[in-house]
Structure 1
Amino acid sequence: MSKLTETLNKFLDLEQKSLQAFLNKGNIREVSKSEKLISKGEICANLFFILKGAVRSYYFKDDKDITISFSMEGEFITSMSSFISQSPSYENIEALEDCKLWHISHQDLMGLFDTHRDLERVYRLILEAYYIRVEEQLIFSKFKNARERYEELLQQKPEIIQKASVGQIASFLDMSIETLSRIRANL
């Protein structure tokens, strides 16, 4: 749990009683490679923290699998719009490898906010960081050429190259497998 505590404390130094209440409400879940944490149409009831492993978020468009994000050890993951609104998810989240996850339910998290205001603040800061990451990814995909997008992925999450398939990486980078192969061959 030290990774989770360390990550939370990057946002705000929580009171010990708040941190303990938060950790006590969570549970550990182990998932196998390719197992889904959530499927399209389900309401996302949990906020996950990756203790070990990697996951990807994706959706289907015209029967094509489109990867929208990769999340690694030490990061939070959820179907954010579904988790916040408690409405059906448009995305799927699956394990890229065997994973160990800590998770807390939406209901438990909201209940903690009533008695631990510093947890509510940390949650807001986590949401802000998520929003910034999504906005940067949008800019990343719209204003950079294919080679720049691949180089940025190598810089930010080099381990994803070993964990995700070439097709998943190409989809995430919004390019064909052939284009990705050419870029990789020229580096």
Structure 2
Amino acid sequence: METILNILQKFSNIPQESLERFVRKLQETNIPKGGFLIREGEICDRLSFIQKGFVRSYYFKDNKDITISFSMQGEFIASMASFISQKPSYETIEALEHCHLYQISYQDLMDLFEKDSHLEHLYRLILEQYYVALEEHLIFSKFKTAKERYLELMENQPHIIQKAAVGQIASYLDMSLETLSRIRASI
């Protein structure tokens, strides 16, 4: 619980009382390797903080799973479109290793917002961070060569290369497994 408090304190000058109010609403849970935080078609009703573990988000298209993102210790994770809209998710979030999570329900979060505007501000900052990461990945995947994408991943997020399957990495980088294999062989 201390880790999440430390991370939240880095976001902004949120009063300690507000942070503690938020933390009191968190529920601790564990998801085994291969388990799911949410599956396609379910409504995402929880925002999760990864205390320990590694997950990937993906969706299916033409009977292929397409990796959208990876998240790890110290990060928030949810099917954001589903969480915000409270409509069924198009994505699945799978634990790639055992995960220790702290979660808050959508309803508890909305109740906190009504009582504490500082927490609404904190949530906005979390969403901004999520949006920036999403936009960077979009630019990353559309405007760089396959080799540049792989080299940047090696430099900026080596934990993904160490923990994810090669096929998942290729999908995340928007390239075929063959292309990724050629790139890895040339480095």
Give the alignment's TM-score, normalised by structure 1.
Answer: 0.97
For 2:74 and 2:184, locate their aligned partners in 1 and report how far apart those are by CA, in whole Å: 27
RMSD of aligned C-alpha atoms? 0.9
Deviation at 1:2, TM superposition (A): 2.2
Equivalent residue number for residue 65 of structure 1 = 65
For 1:156 and 1:34, locate their aligned partners in 2 and report how far apart those are by CA, in whole Å: 25
1:90-146 C-alpha deviation (Å, 9 max, x unpaired): 000000101101110000011001111111001001111111111111110000000
Equivalent residue number for residue 128 of structure 2 = 128
Matching of residues 30-69 of structure 1 within 5 Å: 30-69=30-69
Matching of residues 109-120 of structure 1 within 5 Å: 109-120=109-120
Residue 15 of structure 2 aligns to which amino acid in structure 1? E
For 1:130 and 1:161, locate their aligned partners in 2 and report how far apart those are by CA, in whole Å: 21
Give the alignment's TM-score, normalised by structure 2.
Answer: 0.97
For 2:144 and 2:2, locate their aligned partners in 1 and report how far apart those are by CA, in whole Å: 37
For 2:103 and 2:138, locate their aligned partners in 1 and report how far apart those are by CA, in whole Å: 27
Residue 177 of structure 2 aligns to which amino acid in structure 1? I
Moved more, 30-39 or 147-156: 147-156
Listed as ranges, the gaps of 5+ residues in structure 1 are none
For 2:155 and 2:2, locate their aligned partners in 1 and report how far apart those are by CA, in whole Å: 25
Deviation at 1:152, TM superposition (A): 1.4
Structure 1 stretches of at least 4 aligned residues deviating more than 4 Å after TM superposition: none
Give 3-state SS (helix, strand or coil) of 1:9's partner. Answer: helix
For 2:161 and 2:136, locate their aligned partners in 1 and report how far apart those are by CA, in whole Å: 20
1:76-100 C-alpha deviation (Å, 9 max, x unpaired): 0000000001000000000010110
Equivalent residue number for residue 181 of structure 1 = 181
Identity score, percent: 63
Equivalent residue number for residue 144 of structure 1 = 144
For 1:84 and 1:174, locate their aligned partners in 2 and report how far apart those are by CA, in whole Å: 26
Residue 61 of structure 1 aligns to which amino acid in structure 2? K
